[in-house]
Structure 1
């Protein structure tokens, strides 16, 4: 297989149609994305685009849930360079609903699990781990067909263990203050998690590299 795309390569994504382009442009040009992009402490990427097609087609978020009316455009991620925090911006369609027009709680749990993990993993010795605990509090119904933001922070690190917390909120309600800090809104759903790096992490990491 060819070399894995860089973070910069993933930002060259071209939408396949006009509707998808409009969604992509809305995220890319949002006030939050522009502020994070201008902050030298954050690194922008679209990690789902790093996964080769033959691997992505078996991946839940980058494959199964990716497409029209689900996750139609690859999410944007902004990771703090020291692994302290992470922001993800995405659009969710109607095909990830439980009750009509309301995003399924299991989908939100999946997004929080992946988002909090992407925030915490850089703090682990081999940058890879598994979910040991995930506690979720659903605050309000999350409506489908809207732009969402997932904000996560790494709160504690002890050897092969890393804790993180975060929430999901509508993009239009997340703002950046004059000090450059995110003004946290009332969340739709929040979570905290514990991730543990397996003892065989080096082997696991090597196998994943071979697959990609």
Structure 2
């Protein structure tokens, strides 16, 4: 079987991934409960247009071990719990919620800009999967503007939208912003970006071979 068959093909469905995470640390339990009970998450779960998943948990342990965000940067003090992702396939929009700890800083107390770029890259790419023939894409171009310092130890929301699609190419815009803690509080835009994602020509053949 090919490498794609061993590591890249999903092992869990979207629905199964939503219940696969079992917090082991006190702070993880606290973060998980806060996200689960936040009004934004509740409203997205109540909206039938969105499907929910935890993409980092859909794949094999072998994949996660070598993954930057699902492996190396995952866990207490880092990306504390696996991000929750909501996708609207028809509207080609995505919302992601996560928590960034205090061990992912550049300047003390502030999240490293490279991690924010990585999250934006992953999120934009995942959003474009809704517009690509085999739901796989690689980054061809990424543009980022940092709008405000991102403090460590806070909840982050990413919102993305596919803006154009042509065959194996898809473009998306998105942003990272704070998750409001109180009713009426407006989110602060932290990072904005756009990207072009291209589905490799060999993907279709690879998927057929590994199935």
Structure 2 length-normalised TM: 0.89
Aligned residues: 203
Q: Does 1:7 align with 2:9?
A: no
Could you give the per-residue CA deviations for residues 98-123 of structure 1, whole angstroms, max 9, x where no partner exists?
A: 00011001000000000000000121
Shift of 1:174: 9.9
Alignment partner for residue 102 of structure 1, among 110, 123, 127?
110
Alignment partner for residue 155 of structure 1, among 152, 156, 163?
163
Shift of 1:133: 0.5
- Equivalent residue number for residue 93 of structure 2: 85
- Equivalent residue number for residue 41 of structure 1: 49
Q: Does 1:66 align with 2:66?
A: no
Distance 1:118 1:92, change over 3 A: same
- Equivalent residue number for residue 195 of structure 1: 197
DSSP 3-state at the match of 1:70: coil
User: Which whole-Å CA distance do the structure 2 matches of 1:101 and 1:206 have between them?
Assistant: 47
Uncovered stretches (5+) of structure 1, i.e. residues with no partner: 177-182
User: Which whole-Å CA distance do the structure 1 matches of 2:61 and 2:182 have between them?
Assistant: 33
Alpha carbon RMSD of aligned pairs, Å?
2.3
Uncovered stretches (5+) of structure 2, i.e. residues with no partner: 1-5
- Equivalent residue number for residue 131 of structure 2: 123
Shift of 1:5: 1.4
Structure 1 length-normalised TM: 0.88
Kept in 2, the 8 Å contact 1:122–1:128? The answer is no
